[in-house]
Structure 1
Amino acid sequence: MNKPINSHQQDKNKKFEHQVDNNEIPFCNILGVNIAAINMSWLLDYLEKNIRDLNGNLLSGEYICVSNVHTTIMSYESKEYRSIQNNGLMAIPDGGPLSTIGHMRGHCEMKRTTGPSLMKELFNRSVKYGYRHYFYGSTLETLEKMKKRLEVEYPGIQVVGMYSPPFRSLTDEENDTVVKIINGTKPDIIWVGLGAPKQEMWMAEHRRRVRGLMIGVGAGFDYFAGNIERAPMWMQNCNLEWLYRLIQDPKRLFRRYMRTNIKFLWLALLRGK
């Protein structure tokens, strides 16, 4: 990804250089967003090799954006948000159309890597690798339901903390307290479920402040709490999960899908941006 690194940072921490090396993480630029041209196997292998280095370093606190058509269009329309997407560790292709465009542009191994699927894969590996999880976002009720389900479905999983922020901006003092609480639990992964663009903005603001790898997963908390269901696997495999979500919540999603999907097709597919 495009990540400026000054000489002071390089001298201070040579060990961290591989995490921001553009040559290590392949990407496909779509509407100005550097979408990681990867698949789930590649991503899991990368995290397995590097997640401990991220958290054992004074400069830990990187973030991963889980990007789809909606966030890519928002990034195209907002220079600030586009910078947030591009300055994280990587922006993974949650949306099927992103991986399809990637294939068309020569990235044959690029496949859809959804937030909930990544959560499931890392939960499955948690006991083996000793991953420690912190959950930031959603409601207290959803967090508690999710924790109970995770402890049943993934015996031995370490949920080291949860925080449901108020529906307002935190004061500086409150924010400092939250950072201390999160860091005090020594998490490996901080799952952020605030919805786009709020979660990406929060992660960018807390980059290098929290000691753990932040991953913004949108509605991922609701899936694992049992509040909403994922699409059947055949729909996921056919890139039709958006349709399943639209059927579940047409009032909220219809207008968004109409605007962003049509604009994406026009700009990315027909104009090649």
Structure 2
Amino acid sequence: MSIQTNSFLNTTIHNLSMKETLSIIDEAITDKKQIHHVVVNAGKIVALQEDKQLRESVNNSDLINADGQAVVWASKVLNQPLKERVAGIDLMINLVQLAAERNHKIFLLGAKEEVVSKVAEIYSSKYGNDIIAGFRNGYFNKEDEPSIAKEIAESGAQMLFVAITSPIKENFLYNHRSILKEVNFIMGVGGSFDVIAGITKRAPVWMQKMGLEWFYRFLQEPKRMWKRYLIGNSKFILLVLKEKMGYKK
């Protein structure tokens, strides 16, 4: 499949639907190749404007999807329309189901111990114990990263899901991609483990379609999220307007 790429706001996004993304990943695993996947939302795009390491980690990934509806809207404003939003959590849910159908194993890295163990328990209960190659919480020092990557590589997992905040997860996957080469699919999934475990509630579908998922999250944790969304979303809108007007820094 020839993949169209759309480039704007200092990143490149693959113009794919959810179905097309799943097909590419499924084929790569069947062919024993590796796909380093990443999703971008408004906040991440704002961050990578100044964070060169994050920008390198994101733009050197094999597959980049638009996680946020705001990114899809921005693509239309900038005359590079994307087909649809491919939310990281939805992709993960679909891939875990695919893993069960194909007899693949998954590794879960990130979140608190009680959360990641709960996610492993939920998936084991739903799909059988054989689906879990291993799991580990997301609290470790940078010097521990190579040994953790080696543990994952030796686990026999075909898929790795990393639920750690940005830019740590992107840089972890990019910096240790050579160690993780035996894992066919690697991706960061942010706070998805909290949602799967029932710690955080996800916005209703109608809010997701309207691009208001961020607002639903803000309502759940206003003290922690107000700065991220108020300032981050404002910066994103400004970036889009500047690019639309042809402004060059």
TM-score (norm: length of structure 2):
0.89
- Please list every run of 5 or more consecutive structure 2 residues that lacks an aligned counterpart in the other structure: none
Query: Residue type matched to 1:67 in 2?
Result: V
Report the counterpart of residue 231 of structure 2 in structure 1: 259
Whole-Å Cα distance in 2 between the matches of residues 186 and 155 of structure 1? 16
SS in 1 for 2:170: helix
Whole-Å Cα distance in 1 between the matches of residues 176 and 23 of structure 2? 25
Whole-Å Cα distance in 2 between the matches of residues 271 and 94 of structure 1? 20
Higher mean displacement: 212-221 or 106-115: 106-115
* 1:102–1:110 Cα contact (<8 Å) kept: no
SS in 1 for 2:165: coil
* 1:146–1:226 Cα contact (<8 Å) kept: no
- Please list every run of 5 or more consecutive structure 1 residues that lacks an aligned counterpart in the other structure: 1-22
Distance 1:157 1:40, change over 3 A: farther
How far 1:101 sits from its partner (Å)? 2.0
Query: Residue type matched to 2:226 in 1?
Result: F
Higher mean displacement: 178-187 or 152-161: 152-161
Distance 1:269 1:169, change over 3 A: same
Report the counterpart of residue 185 of structure 1 in structure 2: 155
Instruction: Say which of 84, 94, 118 aligns to 2:57.
Output: 84
How far 1:182 sits from its partner (Å)? 1.3
Report the counterpart of residue 239 of structure 1 in structure 2: 211
Report the counterpart of residue 12 of structure 1 in structure 2: none
Whole-Å Cα distance in 1 between the matches of residues 70 and 5 of structure 2? 15
How far 1:109 sits from its partner (Å)? 5.2
Alignment of 1:54-133 (within 5 A): 56-57=32-33, 60=34, 62-108=35-81, 110-133=83-106
How far 1:106 sits from its partner (Å)? 4.6
Higher mean displacement: 76-85 or 149-158: 149-158
Higher mean displacement: 95-104 or 80-89: 95-104
Detail structure 1 runs of 4+ shifted over 4 Å in the superposition.
105-109
* 2:57–2:171 Cα contact (<8 Å) kept: yes
| CA-to-aligned-CA distance 1:178-203 (integer Å, 9 cap, x gap) | 23321222111110111111100101
Q: What percentage of aligned pairs have identical amino acids?
A: 26
How far 1:104 sits from its partner (Å)? 3.7
Whole-Å Cα distance in 2 between the matches of residues 50 and 106 of structure 1? 31
How far 1:105 sits from its partner (Å)? 4.2
* 2:105–2:157 Cα contact (<8 Å) kept: yes
Report the counterpart of residue 109 of structure 2 in structure 1: 136
Whole-Å Cα distance in 1 between the matches of residues 39 and 82 of structure 2? 18
Report the counterpart of residue 228 of structure 1 in structure 2: 200
| CA-to-aligned-CA distance 1:70-93 (integer Å, 9 cap, x gap) | 110011122222111100112210
Report the counterpart of residue 186 of structure 2 in structure 1: 214
How far 1:51 sits from its partner (Å)? 2.3
Whole-Å Cα distance in 2 between the matches of residues 74 and 238 of structure 1? 23
TM-score (norm: length of structure 1):
0.82
Query: Residue type matched to 1:184 in 2?
Result: E
Report the RMSD for the aligned CA atoms in angstroms.
2.0
Whole-Å Cα distance in 2 between the matches of residues 256 and 77 of structure 1? 16
Report the counterpart of residue 153 of structure 1 in structure 2: 126
Whole-Å Cα distance in 2 between the matches of residues 247 and 224 of structure 1? 19
